[in-house]
């Protein structure tokens, strides 16, 4: 038994130089294949970047595409290196695929954000500087903000309050997006109520005059002023008109102050919520008073 163990040890010692030579040979092959492959990848990437530049894509899309192609080429180089030292490429590819599946499940949310970022870069529903809403109330906005950065995983907005809002790209790519800048102009809807005792036609005239007095209102676009509803406390007037997208917020607040002043100067009244209560006299109380 001891002789057998001794023979095994002696054979191992004898084969040790061959084993190390095999390792050294594989290392040299890996280094050689890597150096040659790296030069080939550099050559290919120069041509790819030139082609992407000629395609006049968005700068962010150009960078992302270049990075994706470069990563794919290095993965192919890695498979080639393993094949060169005797490993089967199919086995290695299967191992990488199973590892990729595990990583994908672990980082599912992050990967969906990255996919959303790539989709946004290609679809271009908005650009940096656009005023955008996320698709909630009022045809698209639970929030509104100016786009200040479009990243691969997240997009950053600056709201009217000056807050920086970071939104996952998966939410933007899969939901509704309202872009208020794309058209260059935006319809503004303003409402006001006047008393039932007032002349509503006069109110409409004052309303139209006030709207047209603002230079930010696009005079060549249609202006509609009309009675929108007969409310509980007054006659509700409404105006539809167009303004430049950049003037929307300022004009929406600025027009109301002048409208109130002009309506009051014209002798019209802006009603406040009120309730008329009619008391029904109690028969027993009336008899007591008469007695």
Domains of the chain: 2-106 (1.10.287.1260), 126-179 (2.30.30.60), 185-265 (3.30.70.100)
Instruction: Give me the pLDDT at residue 139, please.
Output: 47
Please report the beta strands in 83-218, taking only residues with DSSP state E, as ranges in sequence order.
131-133, 144-150, 154-159, 164-168, 178-179, 185-194
Residue 243, H or E segment: strand 235-244
pLDDT value, residue 115:
78
Sign of CA dihedral 214, 216, 219, 221: negative
Tokens of 36: 């040659």
Q: What is the pLDDT of residue 89?
A: 60
The pLDDT, as a whole number, for residue 201 is 93
Confidence at residue 105, expressed as pLDDT on a 0 to 100 scale: 55
Place of tokens 């009336």: 286
Low-confidence ranges of the chain (pLDDT < 50): 139-140, 289-290
Name which of 216, 209, 150 is nearest 179 in CA terms. 150
> Do residues 147 and 134 make contact, with C-beta atoms less than 8 angstroms apart?
no
Burial track 109-130 (b if 16+ CB lie within 10 A, e otherwise): eeebbbbbbbbbbeeeebeeeb
């Amino acid at each position: 038994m001891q002789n057998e163990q001794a023979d095994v040890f002696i054979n191992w010692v004898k084969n040790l130089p061959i084993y190390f030579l095999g390792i050294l040979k594989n290392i040299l092959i890996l280094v050689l294949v890597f150096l040659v492959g790296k030069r080939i990848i550099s050559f290919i990437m120069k041509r790819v970047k030139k082609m992407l530049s000629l395609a006049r894509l968005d700068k962010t899309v150009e960078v992302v595409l270049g990075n994706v192609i470069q990563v794919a080429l290095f993965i192919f180089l890695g498979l080639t290196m393993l094949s060169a030292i005797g490993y089967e490429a199919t086995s290695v590819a299967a191992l990488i695929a199973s590892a990729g599946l595990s990583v994908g499940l672990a980082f599912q949310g992050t990967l969906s954000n990255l996919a959303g970022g790539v989709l946004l870069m290609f679809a271009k529903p908005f650009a940096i500087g656009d005023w955008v809403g996320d698709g909630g109330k009022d045809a698209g906005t639970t929030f509104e903000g100016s786009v200040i950065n479009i990243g691969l995983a997240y997009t950053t907005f600056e709201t009217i309050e000056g807050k920086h809002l970071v939104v996952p790209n998966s939410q933007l790519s899969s939901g509704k997006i309202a872009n208020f800048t794309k058209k260059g102009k935006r319809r503004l809807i303003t409402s006001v109520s006047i008393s039932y005792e007032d002349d509503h036609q006069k109110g409409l005239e004052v309303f139209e005059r006030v709207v047209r007095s603002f230079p930010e209102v696009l005079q060549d676009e249609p202006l509609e002023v009309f009675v929108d509803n007969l409310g509980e406390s007054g006659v509700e007037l409404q105006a539809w008109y167009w303004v430049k997208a950049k003037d929307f917020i300022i004009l929406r607040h600025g027009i109301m102050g002048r409208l109130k002043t002009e309506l009051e100067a014209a002798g019209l009244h802006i009603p406040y919520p009120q309730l008329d209560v009619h008391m029904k006299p109690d028969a027993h109380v009336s008899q007591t008073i008469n007695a």
